[in-house]
Structure 1
Amino acid sequence: MSAYAPPIAATLLMWWASTGAILYLDGLSRRTFAWSMAGSTGLFLLALWGMSATSGETSAASAYCAFACGLMAWAWQLVSYYMGFITGPNHAPCPPGLAGFGRFIAAIGTSLYHEIAIIVCAAALIALTWGQPNLIGLWTFLVLWWMHSSAKLNLFFGAPNLSEELLPEHLRYLVTYMRRRPMNLFFPVSVTVSTIVTVLIAQKAFVATTPFEIVGYTILATLMTLAVAEHWFLVAPLHANALWSWGVKDGHASNDAEERDDSDSLRVAAIEAARAAGRI
C-alpha cells in the first residue's frame, strides 16, 4: 500500500493548494487581475508544452508531470472565468419569475464562452497526446471538467449548500441562478455515476503492475473520489469551505469597494428578490 500513498498525497495537496490560490487571487483588487491572468497564461502554455513532452513517456515521474500539467491547464480555465475574462454574453442576475427552459438558457449565457474555451482546450490536449501512452494530463483535465460541470448543474437544479461565499464580488449575480433546496433529481444520478467511475479506476490502480500505471490510476481515482466528496458537500451539513479559509480573504466580500457602481446595487437587489422568491 505504500506505493499508493505518494500519488494520493500529491493529488490532495495540489488540488487543495491550487483551489486556495485561485480563491486568494480572486479576492484581490481587480486591478491585479490582468497580472494574475498573464501569469496563469504563462503556466498554461508551460502545461501544454509539458503535456506534449511527457506524452510519450511511461515513468512514474512523467505521470506526476502530466497530472500537474492537466491541473495547470484547468486552473487557467477557472482563472479566466472567475476573474471575468472569459464568461458569457449574460452578465445580469436572473430576472424574477424566469423559470423552466428560459432560466436554463439564461444560466448558460453566464458561462457560454467559458464552456467553449474548455472544449477548445480539451481538443488541443487530445491533439497533443493523440496516439501516445501517457494520457494522465488529459484525463486529469477531463475529470476536473466533469467535477465542475456536475457541481454547476446540481447548484442550478438545487442544493442545500450553495457556497455563495466563494464567489468574487463581480460574479455574485450567479447566485440568482442557483436554488437552495434539500435535493434535486440530478444529484443521485451524478453521485452514482461518479462513484461507479471511481471504483472502476481504483480497481485499475490495485491491479496495476508498473510504477506509471500505479501513479496514474491512483491520481485519477483520487480525483474522482474528490468529485464524489464534492457532490456530498453540496448536501451534507458540513462547512467544507473551511478547507480554503486561508485563501478566502475579506476581499471576496469587499474587494474593489472603491470600484463598485450602481450595477452592484442592482445585483444585490436581484439576489434578495430571488431569495424572497425561494430560489436561493
Structure 2
Amino acid sequence: MHDFGLPILATLALWWGSTGIIFYLDSLPRKTFPYTMGAATVLVAAALWGLVATSNHQTAGSAYGAFSYGLICWGWQILGFYMGYVTGPQRQPCPPELRGLGRFIEGVRTGLYHELSALIGAVALLALSHNQPNQLGFWTYATLWWMHESAKLNVFFGVPNLGEEMIPDHLRYLATYMSRRPMNMFFPFSVTISTVITVWLAWAATAATTPFEATGYTMLGTLMALAVAEHWFLVAPLNANALWAPMSKRQEEYSGLIEGELIALENFADRDESWTAPLPHICEARHVAQVLELVAAGAFGEVEEVKGALRTRAHWIAFEISGSRARMTPFTPRNPQEPRIVAVGRHLDRDRLMAAIENCAA
C-alpha cells in the first residue's frame, strides 16, 4: 500500500509557499526586482540541470525532485510577468468603448510575450525529458500553466472575485480587462475539465504499481485539485487571497490607500451636490454590483465620483465609480469602520439611491 499523505502535504506546502514567496518578492520596492530576477534565473538554471539529472530515474525521491524543478520553472515565468519584465505589447488600460473580439484581442496583447515565453518553456522542458521515464517536471509545469490560463480566461469573461488587490501597481491596467459577473459560460467547462483530470489522476495514483508512479500521480492530482478549488474561489463568497496576506505587503498598503481615499472624499463631500450615508451591516455583493452599474449609467443623477466600503458574509469590499466604470475589490480594513458610501455629483436622487442600497442587505 502506497503512502499518499506525504505527497499531498508536500504539494500543498510547495504550492502555498512558492505562491507566497512570489507575492512577497513582487510587493518589495521595484529597485529590488533586477536582483530578484537574477537570483531566480540562477535558480531556474539549477532546476533545469536537476530536471535532466532526474529524468532517467523512477524513484519516489526523483518524483519529488522533478515536481519541484517544474514548479521552479513555472515560478520563474510568473515572476517575470508580475515584475513587468515579460508582459506584452499592450500596456495601457482597456478603452471603454472596446467590446467583444476587439477587447479579447487587446487582452491577449497585454500578456502576449509572457504566453510565448511560457510556450517556449514548455517545449524546453519537454525536450529535456524527451523519451525519458521521468517527465513529471514537464507535467507539473503544464498543469500550472493550465491553472494560470484557465483563471485568466475566467476573470476576463467575468467572475465575482477578480483579485485586483494582488495586481502590482505597474500592472494595474490589467484590471480594466477583467469583468465582474456572477458567472460566465466558460466557467462550467473549465471547472469540469479540471475535475475530470483530477479524478483520473486520483484513480491512477491508487492503481500505481511503483512508489514513483504513486508519488507522481498523487502530486499532480493534488495540484489539479487545487486548480478546481481555485476555480470555485473565483465565484464563492470567499477571499482566497487571504491565504497569502501575511506574506505580502501589498494588501496592507492597499487597505491603507482605500481608507485614506474614503476619508479624503468624505471631507470633500460637504457640498450641496454631495452625499454620504451608512450601508447595511451585511450586504450581498452581487446586488451592490448591480446598483453600481446603474449609478455609473446615470440612473440616479450625474455622478462624478463614488467610493465606499461594504461588508459581505465573507470579507470587506471596497467599491468605486470613476467616469463610467464601476469597480469592486476585496480588502482587509486596518482600522474598525462602518460600511458606508460617499457620492459626489449633481442632481443626485438620494431617496431612490438609498432605497436601492438598502435592498442590497443580505
How high is the TM-score relative to the length of structure 1? 0.91
How many Å separate the matches in 2 of 1:51 and 1:63? 10
How many Å separate the matches in 2 of 1:43 and 1:69? 9
Q: How big is the shift at 1:47?
A: 1.0
Q: Which residue of 1 aligns with 2:306?
A: none
1:198-235 Cα deviation digits (max 9, x unpaired): 10011000111211011000000000000000000000
Q: Which residue of 2 aligns with 1:260?
A: none
Q: Which residue of 2 aligns with 1:275?
A: 325
Which structure has more RCO (C-alpha within 8 Å, separation ≥ 6)?
Answer: 1
Q: How big is the shift at 1:251?
A: 7.4
Q: Secondary structure at the match of 1:236?
A: coil
Work out whether 1:191 is the aligned partner of 2:191.
Answer: yes
Q: How big is the shift at 1:97?
A: 1.4
Q: Secondary structure at the match of 1:246?
A: helix
Q: Which residue of 2 aligns with 1:78?
A: 78
Contact 1:27 1:252 in 2 (8 A): no
Q: Which residue of 2 aligns with 1:231?
A: 231
Aligned 1:171-186 pairs, distance under 5 A: 171-186=171-186
Q: Which residue of 2 aligns with 1:262?
A: none
Aligned 1:36-115 pairs, distance under 5 A: 36-115=36-115
Q: What amino acid does structure 2 have at the position aligned with 1:249?
A: K
How many Å separate the matches in 2 of 1:95 and 1:104? 12
Q: Which residue of 1 aligns with 2:146?
A: 146
Change (3 A) 1:207 1:96: same
Q: Which residue of 2 aligns with 1:268?
A: none
How many Å separate the matches in 1 of 2:31 and 2:194? 39
Q: Secondary structure at the match of 2:247?
A: coil
Contact 2:2 2:214 in 1 (8 A): no
1:236-269 Cα deviation digits (max 9, x unpaired): 0011111101122147847xx9xxxxxxxxxxxx
Number of positions where the alignment pairs a residue of Structure 1 with one of Structure 2: 264
Contact 2:48 2:69 in 1 (8 A): yes
How many Å separate the matches in 2 of 1:103 and 1:145? 23
Structure 1 gap ranges (5+):
258-270
How many Å separate the matches in 2 of 1:198 and 1:274? 42
Contact 2:74 2:144 in 1 (8 A): yes
Q: Secondary structure at the match of 1:65?
A: helix
Q: Secondary structure at the match of 2:325?
A: helix
How large is the Cα RMSD of the aligned pairs?
A: 1.9
The percent of aligned pairs where both chains have the same amino acid is: 57
Q: How big is the shift at 1:272?
A: 3.8
Change (3 A) 1:28 1:274: farther
How high is the TM-score relative to the length of structure 2? 0.70
- Structure showing greater radius of gyration is 2
Q: How big is the shift at 1:172?
A: 1.0
Q: How big is the shift at 1:277?
A: 8.9
Change (3 A) 1:274 1:170: farther
Q: What amino acid does structure 2 have at the position aligned with 1:241?
A: N
- Structure 1 or 2: more strand by fraction: 2
Q: How big is the shift at 1:275?
A: 2.9
How many Å separate the matches in 1 of 2:117 and 2:193? 25
How many Å separate the matches in 2 of 1:171 and 1:118? 19
Change (3 A) 1:32 1:274: farther
Q: What amino acid does structure 1 have at the position aligned with 2:17?
A: A
Q: What amino acid does structure 1 have at the position aligned with 2:62?
A: S
How many Å separate the matches in 2 of 1:120 and 1:247? 30
Q: How big is the shift at 1:30?
A: 0.3
Contact 1:26 1:82 in 2 (8 A): yes
How many Å separate the matches in 2 of 1:45 and 1:127? 15
Change (3 A) 1:164 1:251: closer
